[in-house]
């Protein structure tokens, strides 16, 4: 059987390929540090060769959208002022090519294929971690935690969170049916167990919040767009008024206590203060992308020692904006904050205007999850991570024009095929 090459780049016809490519990419993101360069080359092989089929269609216009690529450009340029130019050059090129693949996926992968691929990919990640996983000492918590096949319980928690979110969204937002519905729902208990075993407060709270935002928004979709906007504005005002009360009443401390945390987030506030102090040394453009956590650099070595990081790698400030302040300064913080907020609010705006936009419904909740996690993790700013891939996919989708829709109540007028239609009585057939 021969497969037309063009069908590989048509989101309406390449469902099987797009699902498999997404699933395999997720597995590479999770375990590239275990499988090494071969897995990264396999990731590139899934996406880059498709440019050769029809480069105009595959590249599209997403790559020329300034607000999407600005942060990548800054990371690349930081090589010229970096405290470790070699490290920055390598990491920034890796990040740029990773983002490039994610933006290709915008033109190649439909939201349904992306969701199916994420469900399959996270299920594979969970299976591998449950089979080959282990417990590890958490320097921030001072406890031993199940980390799966990762080096951090928060990474295991992230993939478990994504597995739960995409599985539920595929059924209740995209309306999966048949075998896909059964297989998707069957993956939820495994992802739930992974989330429970990791005992990651970050992942649990972000997952609950994302699901509450996503499915709590559904009742608003029954109203007309004008009423949705008014109710949404009212909800934001009520939430803004309630937050100070919640944090001032001790509820937040009680919730943190369930996970063994305190108001210092078990050492994170000290780490944040150290990061802010480091960022103040180069407040505008930072020390350079990836140029702080470098072996041999005094401050990095000190923090690795204080937090018992024997490998002297894989550590960060547990806050996207502080990490960016250190590496790319206030300019980097501003560009990333704008990218995240623009993506969240962009999909929210599309959803408020059109309740049939299932892609924006799903991606709005997903980006809300990453926004929440950004205050305690760095999911979206490093190469070969699932967070960066999903965020730039979601941002890129906003750069694509929405397909034209027929007016409400208008029925499509079927075209007449003269080859199969009979002529009116008494009229000869032409020709």
Phi-psi region of 315 (alpha: psi -120 to 50; beta: other; left: phi over 0): beta
Which domain covers residue 331, as residue numbers? 7-225+258-399
Averaged pLDDT for residues 397-413: 64
Averaged pLDDT for residues 79-100: 97
- Distance (Å, whole) CA 250 – CA 37: 48
Q: Judge whether 127 lies within some domain.
A: yes
pLDDT for residue 431 is more than 60: no
- Mean residue pLDDT across the chain: 87
pLDDT at position 5 is 75
pLDDT at position 430 is 40
The count of domains in the chain is 1
Q: Judge whether 423 lies within some domain.
A: no
Band of pLDDT at residue 24, cut at 50, 70 and 90: very high
Q: Judge whether 201 lies within some domain.
A: yes
Task: Kindly report, residue by residue over 26-67, the tens digit of the pLDDT.
Answer: 999 999 999 999 999 999 999 999 999 998 889 888 888 999
Q: Which of 6-15, 129-138, 227-236, 370-379 tops mean pLDDT? A: 370-379
Q: Which of 246-260, 395-409, 415-429 tops mean pLDDT? A: 395-409
pLDDT at position 314 is 81
Radius of gyration from C-alpha coordinates of the chain: 24
Instruction: Decide: residue 302, CB within 10 A, 0-12 exposed, 13-18 middle, 19+ buried.
Output: exposed
pLDDT for residue 356 is more than 80: yes
pTM: 0.89
Q: Judge whether 321 lies within some domain.
A: yes
Q: Judge whether 419 lies within some domain.
A: no
Q: Which stretch of 55-64, 255-264, 349-358 has the lowest confidence by average pLDDT? A: 255-264
pLDDT for residue 93 is more than 80: yes
* HSE-up (13 A, CA, CB side) for residue 302: 8
Nearby residues of 212 by Cβ (< 8 Å), 6 or more positions away? none
Q: Judge whether 213 lies within some domain.
A: yes
Q: Judge whether 277 lies within some domain.
A: yes
Q: Judge whether 430 lies within some domain.
A: no
């Amino acid at each position: 059987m021969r497969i037309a090459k063009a069908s590989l780049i048509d989101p309406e016809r390449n469902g099987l390929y797009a699902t498999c490519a997404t699933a395999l990419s997720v597995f590479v993101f999770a375990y590239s540090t275990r499988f090494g360069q071969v897995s990264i080359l396999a990731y590139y092989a899934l996406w880059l060769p498709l440019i050769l089929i029809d480069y105009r269609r595959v590249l599209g216009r997403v790559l020329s959208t300034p607000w999407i690529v600005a942060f990548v450009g800054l990371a690349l340029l930081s090589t010229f002022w970096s405290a470790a130019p070699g490290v920055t050059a390598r990491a920034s090129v890796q990040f740029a090519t990773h983002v490039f693949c994610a933006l290709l996926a915008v033109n190649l992968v439909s939201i349904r294929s992306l969701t199916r691929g994420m469900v399959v990919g996270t299920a594979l990640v969970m299976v591998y971690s449950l089979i080959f996983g282990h417990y590890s000492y958490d320097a921030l918590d001072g406890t031993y935690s199940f980390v799966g096949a990762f080096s951090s319980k928060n990474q295991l928690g992230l993939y478990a969170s994504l597995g739960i979110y995409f599985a539920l969204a595929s059924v209740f937002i995209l309306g999966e049916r048949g075998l896909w519905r059964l297989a998707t729902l069957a993956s939820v208990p495994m992802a739930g167990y992974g989330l429970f075993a990791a005992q990651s407060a970050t992942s649990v709270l972000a997952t609950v919040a994302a699901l509450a935002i996503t499915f709590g928004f559904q009742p608003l979709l029954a109203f007309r767009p004008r009423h949705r906007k008014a109710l949404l504005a009212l909800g934001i005002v009520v939430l803004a008024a309630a937050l100070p009360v919640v944090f001032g009443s001790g509820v937040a401390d009680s919730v943190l206590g369930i996970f063994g945390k305190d108001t210092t987030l078990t050492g994170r506030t000290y780490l944040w203060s150290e990061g802010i102090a480091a960022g103040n040394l180069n407040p505008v453009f930072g020390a350079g992308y990836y140029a702080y956590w470098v072996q041999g650099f005094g401050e990095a070595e000190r923090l690795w020692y204080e937090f018992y990081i024997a490998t002297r790698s894989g550590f960060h400030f547990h806050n996207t904006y502080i990490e960016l302040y250190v590496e790319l300064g206030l300019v980097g913080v501003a560009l990333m904050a704008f990218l995240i907020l623009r993506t969240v609010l962009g999909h929210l705006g599309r959803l408020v205007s059109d309740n049939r936009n299932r892609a924006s419904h799903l991606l709005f909740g997903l980006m809300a999850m990453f926004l929440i996690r950004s205050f305690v993790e760095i999911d979206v700013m490093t190469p070969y991570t699932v967070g960066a891939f999903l965020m730039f996919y979601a941002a890129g989708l906003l750069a694509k024009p929405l397909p034209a829709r027929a007016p409400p109540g208008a029925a499509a007028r079927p075209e007449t095929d003269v080859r199969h239609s009979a002529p009116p009585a008494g009229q000869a057939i032409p020709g």
